[in-house]
Amino acid sequence: MNFQNTPYFDYKLFSGSLNNIFEQGQLVINTINQYSFCIAEEDVNFKRALVESDILLPDGIAVVWSNLILNRSKIKKIAGADIHDYLLENLNKKHGKCFYLGASVSTLDKIRNKINSEYPNISFESYSPPYKSEFSDEESEEMINQVNSFKPDVLFVGMTAPKQEKWVNKHKHLLDSTIICSIGAVFDFYAGTIQRPGKIWIMLGMEWFGRFVREPRRMWKRYFFYGPIFLIKTMFEKQNKKGLGDITCFKDNEQFVH
C-alpha cells in the first residue's frame, strides 16, 4: 500500500490523502489517540492491531501536538467521525454497500434510517453481536458469515476499543470487505444516541473537552490521568530521539570514545 505516513513511536501515522483508497485492495483503517496509545502500551494484542493497520489515523489533538513535538511536522487530525463521513460520501457516489457490525439493534435501526435518508444510493446491512468482552468462536463465525453474505465495500466496526481492533486484526483475512474501519463511538454519534461536540469545539481543537463536559465520570480518567502519562511518554521519546541524534553526530565527526 502506497500511503504517505509519518514515523511516530512504534507506529506509522497517516499523513497523506485518502483519495483512491477504494482501489488499493483490502484496507484496515484504525485510529489512535492519547488514550488508545496508553492502553496499547499495556495490551500487546491491541498494539499489534494498531501497528499492523494499513491506515492509522491521528484521532485526537494530543496526537497531532505530540507528532509536532517529535517530528516537527504538522499533520491533520482525522477523527473516526471524519473518516466515516468521507467513506459514506464516496459510497454514495459509487452506489456502494456498507455493513455496520456492532451496537444495539435500536441504534442500528436509527443508522439505517439516516443512511436511507442522507445517502439513498448506499445499500445497507448490519448485525448486532452479543454485548460481551470476548466472543466465542461460534459467535465470531456468525459475525463473519453475516458480513460475508453481504460482501460490503466498507465494513464499519463499532464494538469499543480495544475489542474492535483486536477482533478485526484476528479475523481480517476471513472478512469479505474492501475496507474495514473500526470507529467505536461513531455509531452512537451518527445515530444521535450520543451527541458529538459541536463544530466550534472541533475547530478549536477542544472536542475532547466537550466530551468531558458531557460525560465527566466516564471521560475524566481518559483525559486527566492518561493525558499526563501520554505527555511524559512524548517528552521521553523526544529526549531519546535527541540522544540518538547526538550519537549519530558524534560518529559522523569521529568524536565518539572507543
Whether the CB-CB separation of 108 and 45 falls below 8 Å is answered with no
Non-local CB neighbours of 228 within 8 Å, separated by 6+ positions: none
Residue 215 has pLDDT above 80, yes or no: no
What nine digits make up the cell of 243? 540522544
pLDDT of residue 24: 82
Which one, of 19, 31, 79, lies nearest residue 55 by Cα? Answer: 31
- Spatial separation of the C-alpha atoms in residues 161 and 56, rounded to whole Å: 14
Give the tens place of pLDDT for each residue, 47-57. Answer: 999 999 999 99
Non-local CB neighbours of 53 within 8 Å, separated by 6+ positions: 28, 29, 30
Give the tens place of pLDDT for each residue, 170-181. Answer: 999 999 999 999
Residue 237 has pLDDT above 80, yes or no: yes
What nine digits make up the cell of 217? 465520570
Instruction: pLDDT band for 3, please (50, 70, 90 cuts).
Output: confident
Mean pLDDT score, 139-165: 97
Residue 256 has pLDDT above 50, yes or no: no
What is the residue-averaged pLDDT of the chain? 89
DSSP character string of the chain: ----EEEETTEEEE-S--TTGGGSSSEEEEEE-HHHHHHHTT-HHHHHHHHT-SEEEE-SHHHHHHHHHHHS-------HHHHHHHHHHHHHHHT-EEEEEES-HHHHHHHHHHHHHH-TT-EEEEE----SSS--HHHHHHHHHHHHHH--SEEEEES-TTHHHHHHHHHGGG---SEEEE-TTHHHHHHTSSPPPPHHHHHTT-HHHHHHHH-HHHHHHHHHTHHHHHHHHHHHHHHHHHHHHHHHHHHHTT----
Percentage of the chain modeled with pLDDT above 70? 87
What nine digits make up the cell of 186? 461513531
Domains of the chain listed by start with CATH number: 5-193 (3.40.50.10700)
Decide which of 257 and 26 is more confident. 26
Residue 252 has pLDDT above 60, yes or no: no
Mean pLDDT score, 93-106: 97
Mean pLDDT score, 40-52: 97
Residue 35 burial (C-beta neighbours within 10 Å; 0-12, 13-18, 19+): buried
Which one, of 45, 58, 43, 80, lies nearest residue 11 by Cα? Answer: 58
Percentage of the chain modeled with pLDDT above 90? 72
Beta-bridge partners for 55? 29
Q: For cell 463544530, name the residue.
A: 199
Which one, of 83, 89, 86, 27, lies nearest residue 58 by Cα? Answer: 83
Mean pLDDT score, 196-225: 70
Which one, of 25, 10, 30, lies nearest residue 78 by Cα? Answer: 30
